[in-house]
Structure 1
Amino acid sequence: MHKKHRLILLGSVVVSALASPAAARPDRCAPPTEAAGGPSNAHTRNVEANLRPPVIKPDDKPFSLAKEMRRYDVPGISVAVIHDGKLAWARGWGFRDTASCAPVTPETAFQAASISKVATAMLALRLVEQGKIGLDRDINDALRSWQLPKDPKLAPNGVTLRELLSHTAGLGVHGFAGYLPGAPLPSPVQILDGAPPSNSAPVRSVLPASGQYQYSGGGYVLTQLALSDVSGIPFAELAERELLGPLGMTRSAYAQPPSATIRADMAFGHANGVPIPGNYHVYPELGPAGLWTSASDLARLQMDIQASAAGKKGHRLSPAMTREMLAPVKDNWGLGTALYTTGAARFGHDGVNEGFQSFMIAYVGKGEGIVALTNGGQGRRLMDEVVRAVATDYGWTDIAAPATEEKMLSLAELSKAAGYFEGAGLSVVLEARPDGLFAYTGGPTPERLIALSSTRFLSTAMGVTAEFAPDYSSFTFIEGGPPMKLVRSKAAPPVTKPDGS
């Protein structure tokens, strides 16, 4: 993407997308026993033996999970699968930390990172249904301990909870770096004002409210404070009472630093194969990034949303509110959820905290879905292969297409995709040549994209797959990253090609 060499994920930090897979490091721990990761079955054994990238050659063999974990330098991964509206299975592989060599179990807690926002949004919408906060009123009406400074130009009517949850409030501060254990932690007000000991900028209007999608973790800290103010209950306690407890999410808590219960079986964040300093970062920014959870617990959260979306009562949100949560507001975003609208409707989120990467996705109209949590290395690359294996196993072609050979397209077919595209803060120039479709991303050389079909292309550098609309007016990332949509632009592309043109 123009002048961007990194893909900004939905978590609290920015992850390099152009880094090559890590070289395999010597094993620090003896392989855990098969029983350590939880129950095995034909589906788990399929994951262990049949990982593939999106594109393959005719004679390519599948990779083993163990090999790919080494290749991507991922110490541990936990996976939970929803099938027929139930938790079908959950299993861990590898190590929750390479210091003690303790294995990942189905109950191991990881940092959910920005998946925290989905739970925060559910909590907010539950309080909306209880009449404690307005979805479309100025958020300052709900705040008692702080007020968002007025901005007559960018937000003359203030910003609303709907805008905060859908990232359309025009607020800044994408994500957060966290704090070392034992370091002084800022209060929500200090975070919002960027005051010491906060290590992030003040949360303020930077774009017109309701005018566009602008991902803002800062807006979720504002939501966190508003929910505490209107309920009179600390955010973590409120989440336990209204959401986590009733859903049976016993391995989940907005506990920063982690509680003794979480510490009993939790993953450490890793970098370069070893635990990061302090073993994890602390995120007092609870609403956007502070949830510790297991894959099984996140599956329970997804199943509750699915059941309510199907019209069943007795869940955390009413069917009507769940439909509102899953309705697009702007650029494939609902209220707290990323929405996948190509093919059968799906919802999900991903996340990145220091040393952790996470991903979940589920169908809206049927009880199928998956959660994957990792604790280091190129976790997203590994999770994409695991999700593909599971999706192929269960026939979820909308979630991940089976691995396929490159399709050779004519220049006329490639020319349909050529042009200048913008959206979600990114831009790219696509050029059709006889030998393929090339993306100019601001780097020294363009990248040749791999055609998976006449409308689907893979960027191996960024690890994302894009699907074009039937009329080629736009494309959306459907695998490997958030479902960001880029639209064909009539403006002159602000890019200089390597040949100077």
Structure 2
Amino acid sequence: MTFALTAMLALLAGASAAEPAIAQASSLPCPMPDGAAGGRSNIHTRAVETNLKPPVRAPGEGPFSLAARMRLYGVPGISIAVIHRGRIDWARGWGVRDTVSCAPVTPDTAFQAASISKVATAVIALRMVEQHKLALDSDINLSFHSWHLPGDAQLAPRGVTLRQLLSHTAGLGVHGFEGYLPGAPLPTTVQILEGAAPANNMAVRSVLPAGAQFQYSGGGYVVTQLALQDVTGLPFAELAQRELLGPLHMTRSAFAQPPSVDILANIAFGHVSGQPVPGNYHVYPELAPAGLWTSAGDLARLLIDLQASAVGQQGHRLSPAMAQAMLRPVKDHWGLGVELYTTAPERFGHDGVNEGFQSYMIAYAGKGEGIVALTNGGQGRRLIDEVVRAVATEYGWTDIAPPAVPEQQLPLAVLAKAAGRFEGGGLSVRLEARPEGLFADAGAPSPERLMALSPMRFFSKALGVVIAFDTDYASFTIVEGGPPMRLVRTTAAPTGSGKNR
């Protein structure tokens, strides 16, 4: 897996999650390292250590400590970097890199960024556009000499473009990748695209009309990877170092699969159920969509560079015009390589899920504020969401994560506005209004009662996501706990809404 939506879909379908339930995920064999081991502390880091809260505040419930929530969610280690006023305000780690050595997470510990890799890839690709080596809106097949994407006269009569590949609108299949055990034979980029042994994925082909809709495709980013290699004559990892990682002084970052000696010197292992995954991590030769090893501080440097370009500053990796194009919606909440939160003030970021790793970053487009968080196991995204809320509360970023509020009791007439079936991004959810609350049915054994934060915002405790309806209840968007997927109403409130069952 390389994307949080994969795990979300499994949960919505009632399948078992990659991690056990919260109550079963709280046993970690390592004690929390000494506070100084994770890096420098200040008033902000101490607030994070003592002020974690979920979106809903129960009556009389106080804030939780970071250590307690790491135990609850079964997260061995977390690395956080905060951007404030256009620079890294602080970066540090908590917990351990692995549950064998119990070595502490430090600001330099490298984690798998998973699908956050796509943001770095998009910047590299857009640099090649600015250098006239690639075109955003031409058939990507014009860039190849080592392979070509098989044509599809019905689904892609004009081929697919780089703009479509970066925004997941090319209509290609292969959502994500499983990775390989260290030491296993690794496929070449062409073998991945062809689904040929030893690749463990299907071939990357058109499955939907090009340009017509959002369809998340890690496979499309492997197409981009090969195009970049063909037009530059460089291996992707070398190109990334030259064009992005080196110039931004991302010294703890590399598209190194398997990891390099430098990365191995201070590396986090992926964990499942409190134990390192077999081989300690999976290897992802699908570099462009999933292969970046990095630290939270290094990803913050990337965000800062994009923020500076987006507000008109010259001399960064992208020109202001290209950075602004990257952060402009192509379809729904997706730009060129980034998730977009389009309500003012605008924000951008990305999620990531690889085996044993979960990550998230978000930043403002118009000012130098933001946060990066990387974890190495357990229900990492649950912990990240509470960390983000604590940081947002500390810095006054209520757009990113509003403070925790008590659950509201809404009248049935208000709940009925939200009832109906909603679909989008591969998700399908039926919402039903009952006197006791709004219930979500997505195919799980039983519908879940959503907790009302306001008449238009609801929290799914089972999934850990907050959804927000638009003003006419014609759609809702996931605004916390997952990628900003928009689901659109396809049916009105079902017959029988509001009746006791």
| TM-score normalised to structure 2 length | 0.95
- Partner of 2:336 in structure 1? 335
Identity of aligned residues (%): 70
CA distance in 2 between partners of 1:46 and 1:16 (Å): 31
Asked if structure 2 preserves the Cα contact closer than 8 Å seen for 1:6 and 1:17, the reply is yes
- Partner of 1:315 in structure 2? 316
CA distance in 1 between partners of 2:284 and 2:16 (Å): 18
Structure 1 position 205, deviation (Å): 0.4
Give runs of aligned pairs for residues 441-460 of structure 1, distance below 5 A: 441-460=442-461
Q: Per-residue CA shift, 1:333-370, capped at 9, x if unaligned?
A: 00000001134210000000011000000011111100
- Partner of 1:489 in structure 2? 490
Give runs of aligned pairs for residues 82-97 of structure 1, distance below 5 A: 82-97=83-98
Structure 1 position 174, deviation (Å): 0.3
Asked if structure 2 preserves the Cα contact closer than 8 Å seen for 1:5 and 1:441, the reply is no
Q: 1:197 to 1:492 in 2, by over 3 A?
A: farther
- Partner of 1:390 in structure 2? 391
User: Which range is displaced more, 19-28 or 93-102?
Assistant: 19-28
- Partner of 1:302 in structure 2? 303
Q: Secondary structure of 1:390's partner?
A: helix
Give runs of aligned pairs for residues 104-253 of structure 1, distance below 5 A: 104-253=105-254
- Partner of 1:281 in structure 2? 282
User: Which range is displaced more, 355-364 or 429-438?
Assistant: 429-438
Asked if structure 1 preserves the Cα contact closer than 8 Å seen for 2:27 and 2:71, the reply is no
Q: 1:458 to 1:18 in 2, by over 3 A?
A: farther
Asked if structure 1 preserves the Cα contact closer than 8 Å seen for 2:419 and 2:493, the reply is no
| Amino acid across the alignment from 2:36 | A
Structure 1 position 30, deviation (Å): 3.6
Structure 1 position 473, deviation (Å): 1.4
Q: Per-residue CA shift, 1:34-68, capped at 9, x if unaligned?
A: 11100000111111111111101220011111111
CA distance in 2 between partners of 1:169 and 1:298 (Å): 27
CA distance in 2 between partners of 1:299 and 1:5 (Å): 25
Asked if structure 2 preserves the Cα contact closer than 8 Å seen for 1:5 and 1:18, the reply is no
CA distance in 1 between partners of 2:350 and 2:324 (Å): 17
- Partner of 1:40 in structure 2? 41
Pair 1:348-2:345 in alignment? no
Q: Per-residue CA shift, 1:160-189, capped at 9, x if unaligned?
A: 000000000000000000000111000000
| Amino acid across the alignment from 2:458 | F
CA distance in 2 between partners of 1:37 and 1:86 (Å): 20
Structure 1 position 455, deviation (Å): 0.6
| Amino acid across the alignment from 1:47 | V
- Partner of 1:65 in structure 2? 66
Structure 1 position 16, deviation (Å): 2.6
Q: Per-residue CA shift, 1:392-435, capped at 9, x if unaligned?
A: 11111111111110111111111221122111111111111222
Structure 1 position 329, deviation (Å): 0.6
Asked if structure 2 preserves the Cα contact closer than 8 Å seen for 1:420 and 1:427, the reply is yes
| TM-score normalised to structure 1 length | 0.95
Pair 1:466-2:458 in alignment? no
| Amino acid across the alignment from 1:31 | M
Q: Secondary structure of 1:416's partner?
A: helix
- Partner of 1:255 in structure 2? 256
Asked if structure 1 preserves the Cα contact closer than 8 Å seen for 2:77 and 2:97, the reply is yes
Q: Per-residue CA shift, 1:172-229, capped at 9, x if unaligned?
A: 0000000001110000000000000001110000001001000000000000000010
User: Which range is displaced more, 215-224 or 443-452?
Assistant: 443-452
CA distance in 2 between partners of 1:470 and 1:367 (Å): 29
Q: 1:346 to 1:110 in 2, by over 3 A?
A: same
Q: Secondary structure of 2:484's partner?
A: coil
Q: Per-residue CA shift, 1:281-315, capped at 9, x if unaligned?
A: 10000000000000000000000110000000000
Q: CA RMSD in A?
A: 2.0
Asked if structure 2 preserves the Cα contact closer than 8 Å seen for 1:360 and 1:371, the reply is yes
- Partner of 1:432 in structure 2? 433
Q: How many residues align?
A: 491
Q: 1:5 to 1:128 in 2, by over 3 A?
A: closer
| Amino acid across the alignment from 2:262 | T
Asked if structure 2 preserves the Cα contact closer than 8 Å seen for 1:424 and 1:485, the reply is yes
Q: 1:116 to 1:366 in 2, by over 3 A?
A: same
CA distance in 2 between partners of 1:104 and 1:281 (Å): 19
Asked if structure 1 preserves the Cα contact closer than 8 Å seen for 2:50 and 2:65, the reply is yes
CA distance in 2 between partners of 1:294 and 1:91 (Å): 10
Asked if structure 2 preserves the Cα contact closer than 8 Å seen for 1:17 and 1:461, the reply is no
CA distance in 1 between partners of 2:7 and 2:37 (Å): 36
CA distance in 1 between partners of 2:177 and 2:217 (Å): 10
Q: Per-residue CA shift, 1:125-171, capped at 9, x if unaligned?
A: 00000000010000000011100001111111110000000000000
Asked if structure 2 preserves the Cα contact closer than 8 Å seen for 1:269 and 1:376, the reply is yes
Asked if structure 2 preserves the Cα contact closer than 8 Å seen for 1:5 and 1:443, the reply is no
| Amino acid across the alignment from 1:242 | E
Asked if structure 2 preserves the Cα contact closer than 8 Å seen for 1:437 and 1:448, the reply is yes
User: Which range is displaced more, 340-349 or 141-150?
Assistant: 340-349
Q: Secondary structure of 1:71's partner?
A: helix
- Partner of 1:78 in structure 2? 79
Gaps of 5+ in 2: none
| Amino acid across the alignment from 1:203 | V
Q: 1:452 to 1:19 in 2, by over 3 A?
A: farther
CA distance in 1 between partners of 2:260 and 2:415 (Å): 54
Structure 1 position 96, deviation (Å): 0.5
Q: Secondary structure of 1:347's partner?
A: strand
- Partner of 2:327 in structure 1? 326
Q: Secondary structure of 2:22's partner?
A: coil
Asked if structure 2 preserves the Cα contact closer than 8 Å seen for 1:110 and 1:293, the reply is yes
Q: Secondary structure of 2:8's partner?
A: coil
- Partner of 1:293 in structure 2? 294
Structure 1 position 74, deviation (Å): 0.5
Q: Per-residue CA shift, 1:52-92, capped at 9, x if unaligned?
A: 11101220011111111111111000000001111000010
| Amino acid across the alignment from 1:232 | G
Structure 1 position 24, deviation (Å): 5.4
CA distance in 1 between partners of 2:146 and 2:127 (Å): 21
CA distance in 2 between partners of 1:265 and 1:124 (Å): 29
Pair 1:479-2:480 in alignment? yes
Q: Secondary structure of 1:349's partner?
A: strand
Q: 1:243 to 1:6 in 2, by over 3 A?
A: closer
Gaps of 5+ in 1: none
- Partner of 1:54 in structure 2? 55
Asked if structure 2 preserves the Cα contact closer than 8 Å seen for 1:6 and 1:15, the reply is no
